[in-house]
Structure 1
Amino acid sequence: MAHLCALKRVESVELDYRQLTLLYRQMGTHGAETVIARASQELDSRLQRCEQLWRMQEAAALRKCARSTIAIAEQIGMEALARVARDVTIAADQGDRVAVAATLARLRRIGQESLRAVWQMRGVSV
């Protein structure tokens, strides 16, 4: 008898606390939390937009959206998210649809975990 096994992919992420500390020092608590909240909302929108562009088969626009995600993620210490968004742009540049699909799925998982991590650290002194 055949057995099916479903694998659940869980991505672990770590925030770059050096970047976050710098942000808090430069902007103060209120300013930094405002930037983090806005950046998080923008990242959520961009991740959704990347998915939409993939379904619409808009490779150039997908690449541009993933590329713009990198700077925002780096600004608030989401290095893993920035790295995977970079991988999406590389796969798109190479025209490798399988690699784009795989890295885009990973971008979604890393994005969700990164947003959760930054939300959980709000209010914690860095």
Structure 2
Amino acid sequence: MQKISVLHPRDAAFFDEDTLNALSRDLGPAVAENILCRAREDIAARFIQIRDEYGTGNYPGLRKSVHAVMPIADQIGLPGLTSIGHDVLRCIDQADPVALASTLCRFLRCGEMAISCAEMGLDLSL
């Protein structure tokens, strides 16, 4: 019999403070806040779509949706989410279903953590 390992993910979601400060400095606090709110809503909507595409095995659509989240994450200072997105795309391209399941779960978990913490007003910058 094989031993089953239970993993306890400890991903940390964070917003890049320099990106957020630049957004606020260049566009003003009110516009920056509006962009941040719209970006979070867009990412949340795309996550629903990503779950649906993964569940139905629509890997071309999944690839497109994950790829669409990455520039949004970059715009609002979520470099970790972008990095994990690249990993997800690599798993899709390599047709590795086990790695895809794990990496996609990490992608969604990190994104949702960042979105929910930002909604609560928590500082996620490092």
Same fold, TM-score > 0.5, yes or no: yes
> How far off is 1:6 after superposition?
6.3
> How far off is 1:5 after superposition?
9.0
Structure 1, unmatched stretches of 5+, are: none
Count of residues in correspondence between the two structures: 120
Residue matched to 2:37: 37
Residue matched to 1:83: 83
The change in CA–CA distance for 1:56 and 1:14 in structure 2 (over 3 A counts) is same
Q: For the residues of structure 1 that align with 2:79 and 2:5, how far apart are their CA atoms?
A: 32
> How far off is 1:7 after superposition?
5.3
Residue matched to 2:64: 64
Structure 2, unmatched stretches of 5+, are: none
Q: For the residues of structure 2 that align with 1:53 and 1:47, how far apart are their CA atoms?
A: 10
Residue matched to 2:74: 74
RMSD across aligned C-alpha pairs, in angstroms?
2.0
Q: For the residues of structure 1 that align with 2:119 and 2:21, how far apart are their CA atoms?
A: 15
What TM-score, normalized to structure 2?
0.86
Residue matched to 1:18: 18
Structure 1 residues 96-122: Cα deviation after superposition (integer angstroms, max 9, x where no partner): 111111111101110111112333448
User: Aligned residues: percent identity?
Assistant: 28
What TM-score, normalized to structure 1?
0.86
The change in CA–CA distance for 1:6 and 1:96 in structure 2 (over 3 A counts) is closer
